[in-house]
Amino acid sequence: MNQIISIRPSKDIRNNYAQISLLTRESPVAITVNGKEDVVVLSHEDYQYQQKYISELEAKIALYSHLAQAIDDIKLGRVQNADDVFDKITSELELMKQ
């Protein structure tokens, strides 16, 4: 998604909105004010794609963080036998029923 950004003056938004809108279908458009880039306009489809991509990256980072923590726990011996853990949970649930 390495697109070339079109650069247009802010007056084009008022005077040539349809053209700006068409340009955003091909690539983002940087809008300038007094010759300096001010905002970037994306098509709605590109915006949604970027938001989904960011969400997926955040989910991967969270997963990798949990996996790194689990690896550290194993290396440092912070582990328990699964059968013992499930037996303890089952016992606690049985006590809660009473």
72 exposed, middle or buried (CB, 10 Å; 0-12, 13-18, 19+)? exposed
- Provide the 3-class DSSP secondary structure of residue 30: strand
Q: Of all residues in the chain, what percent are helix, strand and coil, respectively (each to 5)? A: 65, 15, 20
| Inside any domain, residue 90 | yes
pLDDT tens, residue by residue, 31-76:
999 999 999 999 999 999 999 999 999 999 999 999 999 999 999 9
52 and 92 assigned to the same domain: yes
| Inside any domain, residue 1 | no
In the predicted model, is pLDDT for residue 98 greater than 90? no
For 11, the domain range is 6-42
| Inside any domain, residue 60 | yes
